[in-house]
Structure 1
Amino acid sequence: MQDHLKDFMHYLVVEKGLADNTIVSYERDLKAYILYISKVEEVATLDHVTRATIVQFLKFLHEKGKSSKTISRHIASIRSFHQFLLREKVTTQDPTVHIDRPKTEQKLPQVLSVDEVQALLDSPDSSKEIGIRDKAMLELLYATGMRVSELISLNLSDVHLTMGFVRCIGKGNKERIIPLGKLAQQAVHTYIEESRSRLKKKKSTEALFLNHHGNRLTRQGYWKILKKLSKEAGIEKDLTPHTLRHSFATHLLENGADLRAVQEMLGHADISTTQIYTHVTKTRMKDVYSMYHPRA
């Protein structure tokens, strides 16, 4: 079973070109699944797995206190795995055919107000190299709505400041071109001219955003920076690495942007994913109405 899992993971990396975080999630889910079914007496091979076997595994996850969202993700991983096994003729049937994913409560993403975004963008100390870098990162994220993983993967050649756009490689290794506003262009230009060369030291690297060792900044490094700056900006909301991405989309829609255009800039394959932000804007409108209308 472990050999078939290795083949599947290789398929996800080479043929599907999935993001590193997605690969890690698949592997974690399927290792737990294989560990469970390997202890089931009736399952001598993967072809012996039945719908009942998988249902028992899902029941096991539920009893361990796993959320509907987590169980739903496990089902997606297991389904992809068994479909792969069937295509490769390792098995003769797909036991996931009649298994439905549980309905999950759709949580609205945390969004900053325009004033909170401004406070966050103003929080880096622009008199220091690191502050100039942090300012450029925040401006770029809010200007483009990129994922943090996409931001830290940027190379110097991906940013075209004179033409006002950035080239981004998203999920599934798909390329998209996102326009850049003047403030983001200016912040990134200042970083490249005044800060990046000092951070780079004598190292040879194409990475756009560097840490103080001269290496490519990591997702964890960005997350620490965001938490520090949000605290300094006096923002009390529970921020996530995607907060500026959510704020970018919501603010565009609030100001009349076309949903399809926002979908394209975010790199969503399905517009239903982008539609979550229309719910956010409606919720915010209700809050404003309740707060300011004299007869609310």
Structure 2
Amino acid sequence: MDHDPVLPEPMAVALGDYERHLVAERNLSAHSVRAYVGDVAGMLEHAHRLGIQQPAEVDLRTLRSWLALQQSKGRSRATLARRASAVRVFTAWLARTGRATGDAGALLLSPKLARALPSVLRADEAAQLIEVATNAAGEGPVGLRDVAVLELLYATGVRVGELVGLDVDDVDGDRRVVRVLGKGRKERSVPFGVPAARSLEQWLRNGRPELASATSPPALFLGVRGGRLDQRVVREMVHRRLSQVPGAPDMGPHGLRHTAATHLVEGGADLRTVQELLGHASLSTTQLYTHVSTDRLRRAYSQAHPRA
């Protein structure tokens, strides 16, 4: 990745080393690497304009002035929080690798975000979504594929990128478990139920062979030309099928992930189990679903109790 040539050599070298660390040691995706490196490069350019030549010379005051400049340019709280997080990871890496004597970003605070509760489907809406797709399965192999995709998204809560990355051998139909490669290339096993197993069997027996060609990859889900199914096709399909469910909120595959997690929590699953199923690195991320469930419970109480 090319970086701004105005950076002094020590900064440019450190940034290049950091990028290689993100790729080789942290196994981040190309998109994540670009985001991290871009944020850090912006901070280093700001530091250089202040007269700083070495990464080790970046201090908390420099970082705060950089964030203040971002705020003055109208950057959103979410963007500021992301950029603050990116430079904290970078300064921790500088300290850990001996490139700086201390961690300048350790005390850098992020703006607090008002965390919006995600929209989720009710159980009956999720059932209607599957029914809508099943009724259209007569469209041929694509119809069978769409049913299997929706069933698996809702049954497992996997990310859309994880779903399209699945190969046929990742599915254990006898045990009803799918092997998923998640963020940071961490592998986990996620169970699925009988309806999803049934739709997957239909797709593998009657749908996939119709789309597969001699050059097709071993992907579980194929596109109409026989290649690995594209995430954009899945997103468009989910939006289109949901538009046929009366009253259902509009959402993409990630909304089905939220829905699956919410229904698990509402059904009594403990947070540690849900964390493992979703592949969350932190339990605090999973705890969002307790808030979703509490919010739904509060709305139901307000509507039903005479003294609410």
TM-score (norm 1): 0.92
Runs of 4+ in 1 over 4 A off after TM superposition: none
CA distance in 2, matches of 1:20, 1:41: 30
Q: Give yes or no for the alignment of 1:190 onto 2:182.
A: no
The answer to which structure, 1 or 2, has the higher relative contact order (CA under 8 A, 6+ apart) is 1
Q: Which amino acid aligns with 1:12?
A: L
Q: Are the aligned partners of 2:44 and 2:55 in contact in 1 as well (CA < 8 Å)?
A: no
Q: Counterpart of 1:176 in 2: which secondary structure?
A: strand
Q: Give yes or no for the alignment of 1:105 onto 2:114.
A: yes
* Alignment equivalent of 1:17, drawn from 3, 27, 34: 27
Q: Are the aligned partners of 1:82 and 1:96 in contact in 2 as well (CA < 8 Å)?
A: yes
Q: Give yes or no for the alignment of 1:126 onto 2:137.
A: yes
What does the per-residue CA deviation read over 1:89-112, in whole Å, with 9 as the maximum and x for residues that have no partner?
333443212212222222212111
Unpaired runs of 5+ residues, structure 2, are 1-10
Partner of 2:80: 71
Q: Give yes or no for the alignment of 1:27 onto 2:37.
A: yes
What does the per-residue CA deviation read over 1:191-248, in whole Å, with 9 as the maximum and x for residues that have no partner?
1111112222232311111211222122222222222222233455241431111111
CA distance in 1, matches of 2:226, 2:41: 36
* Alignment equivalent of 1:228, drawn from 221, 240, 243: 240
CA distance in 1, matches of 2:222, 2:38: 30
TM alignment of 1:59-208, pairs within 5 A: 59-124=68-133, 125-127=136-138, 128-208=140-220
How far apart are residue 21 of structure 1 and its match? 4.4
Q: Are the aligned partners of 1:142 and 1:247 in contact in 2 as well (CA < 8 Å)?
A: yes
Q: Counterpart of 1:279 in 2: which secondary structure?
A: helix
How far apart are residue 19 of structure 1 and its match? 4.1
CA distance in 2, matches of 1:152, 1:116: 24
Q: Are the aligned partners of 2:56 and 2:101 in contact in 1 as well (CA < 8 Å)?
A: yes
TM alignment of 1:252-267, pairs within 5 A: 252-267=264-279
How far apart are residue 60 of structure 1 and its match? 1.5
Q: Give yes or no for the alignment of 1:282 onto 2:294.
A: yes
Q: Counterpart of 1:166 in 2: which secondary structure?
A: strand
Moved more, 16-25 or 225-234: 16-25
Q: Give yes or no for the alignment of 1:213 onto 2:225.
A: yes
Q: Give yes or no for the alignment of 1:47 onto 2:56.
A: yes
Identical positions, percent: 37
Moved more, 279-288 or 9-18: 9-18
Q: 1:193 to 1:76 in 2, by over 3 A?
A: same
CA distance in 2, matches of 1:130, 1:55: 52
Q: Which amino acid aligns with 2:137?
A: S
How far apart are residue 18 of structure 1 and its match? 2.7
Q: Are the aligned partners of 2:120 and 2:255 in contact in 1 as well (CA < 8 Å)?
A: yes
Q: Are the aligned partners of 1:109 and 1:246 in contact in 2 as well (CA < 8 Å)?
A: yes
What does the per-residue CA deviation read over 1:164-207, in whole Å, with 9 as the maximum and x for residues that have no partner?
11111112222111111000001111111111122222323111
Moved more, 184-193 or 197-206: 197-206
Q: Counterpart of 1:178 in 2: which secondary structure?
A: strand
What does the per-residue CA deviation read over 1:33-60, in whole Å, with 9 as the maximum and x for residues that have no partner?
334334x141223233222221111012
Q: Give yes or no for the alignment of 1:37 onto 2:41.
A: no
CA distance in 2, matches of 1:72, 1:193: 47
Q: Which amino acid aligns with 1:111?
A: V
CA distance in 2, matches of 1:87, 1:169: 28
Q: Are the aligned partners of 2:167 and 2:218 in contact in 1 as well (CA < 8 Å)?
A: yes
How far apart are residue 253 of structure 1 and its match? 1.5
Q: Are the aligned partners of 2:272 and 2:283 in contact in 1 as well (CA < 8 Å)?
A: yes
CA distance in 2, matches of 1:245, 1:41: 45
Q: Are the aligned partners of 1:154 and 1:168 in contact in 2 as well (CA < 8 Å)?
A: yes
Moved more, 257-266 or 160-169: 257-266
Q: Are the aligned partners of 2:121 and 2:248 in contact in 1 as well (CA < 8 Å)?
A: no
Unpaired runs of 5+ residues, structure 1, are none
